[in-house]
Structures are given as C-alpha cells and as structure tokens.
A and B are shown apart, each in its own frame.
Chain A
C-alpha cells in the first residue's frame, strides 16, 4: 500500500497533470493537522495483567505523570475494569488519555471467566460507537472515542513460558484489539534468560495462532525502525517513578543494594523502545487499525447478526432497504401469527369452560329429574292409598246407611205392628 493509494482509486479517465507553477496545496497536511490539533486527540490504553505486576507504575512512567492510582486488593470476587480519563498537554498538543486497568485479573481461584469481562468491556465501547454512528442526528466529529486503541498485556517474568490464562485471554482478544505483549518487572530476569524467554513466548504465540500487533512496515519513513522493533517483541520493561541520582543527573530508576536499574537506559530494559513505538511512531497507526480493522469487523458481525446482509442467496447485491422491507414483513407476519395463536388459545379455553359448565348443568338437571320422579312416585302412592281409603270409607258409609236403613225399617215395621195392635185394640172398644 505504497504511495499509490490515490492512483488506485482513479478510474481510467483520470490522468495526471503537471502544473506550471506553485499552486500551494502542499499546505494541505498542515491544514489537516491544525484542525485536529484544535480538537485534540484521543488515545485509550487497556492494561491487562495480574494484580501487583506493575501496570499503574508503568503507565505513570510512560506518561511521566502521577495518575494517583491506589493499590488494589487481591481479593476481588471477579475481574472488574476501571477506566480513568486524563487531559494531558505537551507543547500545543492536547491528548485525552484513557487508561483502563483490570482489577483482580488472575486473582480468583477459578479463572475461567476472567477474559469474558475484558471482552465485554471492549465490545461495549465498540457498541456505543456503533450506536452513535447509526443515529440519525449524530455528532461524530465531537464524539469522545472510547474504543481501546492499544492493549498492553503484562506477562509475568517467570522465565519459563506463557501461562495458560495468558494464552487464552490473548487468543480471545487478538481480533478485537491491538495486543502488545510486554514482560513486566524485567529486572528479575537475567539477560540470557530474557533472550530465551522472549523466543519461547513468541513461538508459543505463533503456534497458538495469536495475532499480536505488528508495527507497520509499509511506510518507508518508519519501515526500518519498525522492523527492528518487531524483532524485539515482547518488550521487557521496568517501571519506576522514583528518581535516583546517577552521576550528576536525576534519572528514573530502581535502587537495589547491588546496583541501580535505570528505566531509560536501553541496555537495562526496553522501556525506551516501548515508548518510542507506542507513542512517538505508531500512535496514529494504532488508532487507524482500531477504526478500520477491529471496529469494522465488529460492525460487520453485529449487523450480520441482526440479519442485514449485502447480498442475498443468489449473490445479487441486496440493498439495505430490501433487507429492511423483508425483515419488516417477517416481523409483522410473526406478530400476526402470535396474535392468531393467542386468539385461538383464548377461544379454546372458552370452549373448554363452556363444555365443563354444560356438563355440570346436565348433571344438575339429571339430579333434579330424579328427585322429581321420586317425588311423583311418592305422590302416586299416596294418591292410591287415598283412593283406597276413600273407597273403604264410602263402602263403610254405604253399609252403614244400609244397616241404618235396615234398622229403621225394622223399627217402623215393629211400630206399624204396634200401631195395628193398638188400633185393633181400640177398635174393639
């Protein structure tokens, strides 16, 4: 990607033109830069490493200022990320620096989830940028970019090899952020061991397919220095904010009974190389890589996940509007289906209830009839008995009448006889 970027974008009818005098647009880069200087730059660094490995100290040393970080405890239940933003200024350049530290990394007994929190944080930053970009009314040029531009991974100076936690974490992060591995507390390893350690680390990274950030070698100005630096990865650093008097200068160093380790001495540690590479030479490239590679990848995955594609099954370009239309139809259709389902469910329930009620009704009805019948039977029986009784009564009364009649007849008969007798008797007289 040499200086043919512009020519690459040209179509066939663009021809180069030579000018006969000084026009003046060579001030363009300056115009561009002065605009950005006014706005200030953003740079976000993520430091991952175990507690106590020297992350905060290194940041202090790197940016030559005291960030006021307190020591954190070793007893965190899970990994947390703490972000702090600082406004730094050097000559007329304003830098908004955000340093994100992992708190409690590698302290838990079960470290399976450790990397997940880091990944979530990085994704959250991408997500908020994506949301801002997709807004209708957006203000991208004023937006405070919180995406992580560089990730310094602190490797413990065991001298043997990478820990499995390191490998797993780096593997998960290499497609999301630019990883720069550093060997922390490098004054505990001797030179020969350091050399072997570095080779071991690089070979392990390569064999596990971890893609760490390679300094770009396509720009002629910095290609040479970057290639040399690439061969020195990972940098073995020592951080210190204390100053020790060496000769007649005060230098940043760590004082031991057996000597003084000078931070800015290239033969003692690689701190100067790290500062060169991170800030002086490649800061802009780190930011560009984050935006064009990692962020685009995230964006693509996120949008594809939501179902938006650029081409459909026949590889014809599908515009977003068609995708949107189809999605919208699908969605509406699904809503309708759901509505139908609910309605049907409702209807079914109603039917069930109705049948239940009907059953109950029938049962009651049956009982009622049964009772009614019983009642009727009883009544009939009673009626029968009544008629019988009445018959008897009437029979009895008939006999009674007959008997009385008979008796009355007999009486009148005797009375007649008596009357006759009397008449007879009286007639004689």
Chain B
C-alpha cells in the first residue's frame, strides 16, 4: 500500500506536492473520531427539510404527510369540515414545524398546492409551482453571492416533490406527464400512487409497469436518478428502489385494533388496511426512502445538482444580458481582471 507517487509542481515558490499513499498507521491516531465530531456538530445545528406535495384535491396529500411524520403537520386535516372551495388558481401554502426525535432537531416545511389540476382548463397549472421552486433557488443564490453572508444560509429550496397519481389503473394522464417532465428537471420528483387501496395487487402491478413504461418513453427522470449514482453500492440500492417506483400508498391517521395491537389503518366493511404492513401497501417503503435512508441524499442532490444547474443557467443568462446578478464577481472578476491587465499594457 506504500507507493509514493510524487508530482512535482512547477511554481514560483518551489512547492512540491507528493501524493503518498499512506502506509499502515503504526498505532492509534484517532482519525475516526472526526465522524463523531461531525455528528455532534450536525445535531447541534439541526437539519432542514422542505417537501412539496402536488396532486389533485381529494387524493389524500395532507393525510399522507401527516402519516409520514406521525403528527398533524398539515392544518387541513385539523378542520373536519372542508369548507374551502376549489380555488381559482394554484396557490402554494408552506407550513413549517420543528420536530425532534432522540435529540435530532429538524425543521420540516411542507408546501401544499391546493388547486393543482382542479380547473377545467389546466394548461400551465405547473407554472406557479415552477415559479416557487425557482424563487427559492434565487433566494439562496442571492444570499450566497452576498459579500457579508450569514454563517448558515437559510435553506428554503424544495428538496423533494411528491407527486400524487390518481389510481385510475390505466396509465399516466397528459397532465401528469407534462408536469413530471417539467419538474423533473428542476427538482427531485417522487411519484406515488395515491389511495391505492382501490387497486388489487395485480392491478397495482400492471399499473406500475405501465407508469414506468410511460416515464421511460417520455424521458422523465424521477428520483433516484440513474446518473447520480456515485458507486456500485449506491447503484444496487437504488436499482432496488427503481424497480418499485412508483410506490402505492395509503395514508391515514386513525388507529384500529388488529390482532390485539393498535395499528394505523383504514377500517372498511371487508377488513382493515394496515398502512404500515408491507403486504398491504408500500407506505413503509416510501417512508424509509424519504426519511430513513435517503433524506440526506435528497438534500445533496438538490444542492449539488439542481441548484448548481439553476446557478449556471442564471449566471450565464445574466452575463448575456449584462443585467441581473451577473456573475458579477464571477465572470466579471475574471473579465475585469483581464481587461485591467490589458489596460495597463496599453
């Protein structure tokens, strides 16, 4: 393991960089404690997570979010009487809560989209949503470009967008395809089949296959995207998930007695649908994906890929126009630096 490879670096101050693969350490150094240090720091600063739920009204979005986080996150389900009529346009409501579990604090923001897909003419109903998402990126970008910037930039970017597909059993509708196509480019989209207790297992399987087929033919990339798998381990894990997408979920916040235990479920005349039972629905898979295993990954993908794409686009276009954020320091720093040099040479 000891192969010294030296790369001499031609510099005015001769500084040689030799990359030496470390030999086995002769004894205890303590490097691995840096993991604990990181954990401690992360727990101290807390986490932020912003999730957006999109779908037609009545598909159970708010209920699902409540089930996911086991609390009354969404105010809608607090009002038993749904007196709000269908709104004329898509408006976005974002509600934030702080939840804590075993010392880990998380600021959870749920962005609801009432009115999506509810009108007769649904052309461009995704625009308010796209606008909102881009606004969050813009806010973050402005803060990042500031000279005096905050220690921790408040992160309101949408990390995950859960799209509810109505359980028709046939295939994706044009609205679904359009929406996912557009949004898949700016945010991580996780499609789910809502109210899936209306489908039998066979129907569910066929529906899923058709959805996957539709997604593939239309070139729609949903989370987890194949291109962002970093190594073989990730790929295996993510492939397993990709086989199951979209998850067929059922949401509820009521508990019933089954076999003597209290479980979350929906009681019907023909039985109780247990939400957390993998044989009944795939809610547990969704929860594991979103919260237990891939939450940090969702945030990373948003930050490293979607946000960077937005930033590149924004800075390039403001460069062309000469207005806007303009890579001010960025390209112009390189630009003015070059120009200043050529000036002095004049």
Contact = CB atoms under 8 A, between A and B. Distances in A.
A88 B31 contact: yes
Contacts of A281: 33, 37
Nearest to B31: A90
A324 B39 contact: no
B316 A136 contact: yes
B243 interface: no
Contacts of B311: 136
Given A33-B38, A33-B39, A121-B13, A23 B70 contact: yes
A65 interface: yes
B231 A38 contact: yes
A162 B316 CA distance: 53
B100 A93 contact: no
Interface in B9-53: 13-23, 25-35, 37-49
A16 B41 contact: no
Contact of A5 (B29, B45, B287, B292): B45
Nearest to B109: A14
A418 B38 CA distance: 170
Interface residues of B, number: 100
Contacts of B343: 335, 338
Nearest to B41: A284
B193 to A, nearest CB: 22
A267 interface: no
B185 interface: no
Contact of A36 (B13, B18, B38, B46): B38
Given A17-B72, A35-B300, A25 B292 contact: yes
Contacts of A304: 147
A310 B147 contact: yes
Given A32-B296, A66-B23, A320-B326, A17 B97 contact: yes
B22 A285 contact: no
A280 B33 CA distance: 5
B220 to A, nearest CB: 25
A23 B98 contact: no
Contact of A64 (B13, B27, B145): B27
Contact of B308 (A30, A91, A138): A138
Contacts of B70: 19-23
B230 A82 contact: no
A324 B326 contact: yes
B318 interface: yes
Interface in B289-343: 291-297, 300, 304, 308, 311-312, 315-316, 318-319, 322-333, 336, 339, 343
Contacts of A91: 32
A90 B145 contact: no
B22 A16 contact: no
A93 B312 contact: no
Contact of B98 (A14, A275, A303): A14
Contacts of B81: none
Given A3-B46, A120-B13, 18 more contacts: A5-B45, A5-B152, A15-B97, A23-B99, A23-B291, A25-B47, A32-B42, A64-B25, A65-B26, A81-B15, A85-B18, A85-B19, A85-B20, A87-B19, A221-B40, A284-B37, A285-B37, A328-B322
